[in-house]
């Protein structure tokens, strides 16, 4: 039978992952520039995200949205698309999961249909976690690769921004939430009471069908 506690817990984690995922997607904290040569520059820090860049200089923060999305690199456009796709899947999973909760009355007493909707919503949360993990890991790989590449100039080197660490946390929330929601949305079991009738095979005859045999002395 469906477990309401697991369903609600999984849904809460999935919603938290979706909300933090929106924050990670729009935040300009994916990559940070703080090094020029061997010296640490504290007066000027450049933050780069998927949609904008921010320059922090002497305590003042100035942000600018990218002029053209087509002018970005192919990897940046791919990261944008995957993040948006992940968030849309989370939104669809949220609607299906709420409909499939055992404690809601959206579909009346259609427990089997609600359980299937809950499982579909859980699968969408898992897929969203996978699509969100791809751009985060790819960006981290590119940052680390360029940082240790001697052919990349020192002013162009970047470090991992806090949004990447938060993105890994978002992935964990979506994964755990989807798993709990799937386990809590198990299909209702078959009733243990046997069904007797003409369509049943191997069922013992009812007492009304048993006729007493005549005994001759």
- Residue 11 covered by a domain: yes
**HEC readout, the chain:** CCCHHHHHHHHHHHHHHHHHHHHHHHCCCCEEECEECCEECCCEEEEECCCEEEEEECCEEEEEECCCCCCCCHHHHHHHHHHHHHHHHHHHHHHHHHHHCCCCCCCCCCHHHHHHHHHHHHHHHHHHHHHHHHHHHHHHHHHHHHHCCCCCCHHHCCEECHHHHHHHHHHHHHHHHHHHHHHHCCCCCCCCCCCCCCCCCCCCCCCCCCCCCCCCC
- How high is the pLDDT of residue 212? 52
The residue range of the domain holding 172 is: 4-27+73-184
Q: Has residue 180 been placed in a domain? A: yes
pLDDT per residue, tens digit, the chain (217 aa), is: 457 888 899 999 999 999 999 999 999 999 998 665 555 555 678 899 999 999 888 778 889 999 888 888 889 999 999 999 999 999 999 999 988 887 776 666 667 888 888 899 999 999 999 999 999 999 999 999 998 888 988 878 889 999 999 999 999 999 999 999 999 887 554 343 344 444 444 455 444 444 555 544 4
Domain total for the chain? 1
Against a cut of 0.85, is the pTM above it?
A: no
CATH number of the domain bearing residue 123 = 1.20.140.150
Is 39 part of a structural domain of the chain?
A: no
């Amino acid at each position: 039978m469906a477990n309401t506690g697991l369903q609600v817990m999984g849904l809460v984690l999935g919603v938290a992952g979706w909300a933090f995922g929106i924050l990670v997607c729009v935040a300009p904290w994916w990559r940070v520039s703080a090094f020029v040569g061997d010296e640490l520059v504290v007066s000027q820090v450049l933050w780069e995200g998927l949609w904008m860049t921010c320059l922090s200089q002497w305590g003042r923060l100035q942000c600018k949205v990218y002029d053209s999305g087509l002018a970005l690199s192919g990897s940046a456009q791919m990261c944008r698309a995957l993040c948006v796709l992940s968030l849309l899947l989370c939104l669809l999973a949220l609607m299906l999961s709420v409909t499939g909760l055992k404690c809601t009355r959206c579909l009346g007493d259609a427990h089997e249909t609600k359980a299937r909707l809950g499982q579909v919503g859980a699968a969408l949360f898992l897929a969203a976690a996978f699509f969100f993990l791809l751009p985060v890991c790819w960006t981290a790989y590119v940052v680390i690769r360029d940082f240790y590449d001697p052919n990349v100039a020192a002013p162009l080197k970047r470090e991992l921004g806090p949004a990447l660490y938060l993105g890994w946390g978002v992935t964990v929330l979506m994964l755990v939430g989807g798993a709990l929601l799937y386990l809590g949305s198990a299909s209702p079991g078959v009733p243990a009471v046997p069904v007797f009738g003409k369509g049943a095979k191997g069922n013992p005859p009812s007492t009304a069908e048993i006729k007493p045999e005549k005994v001759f002395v």
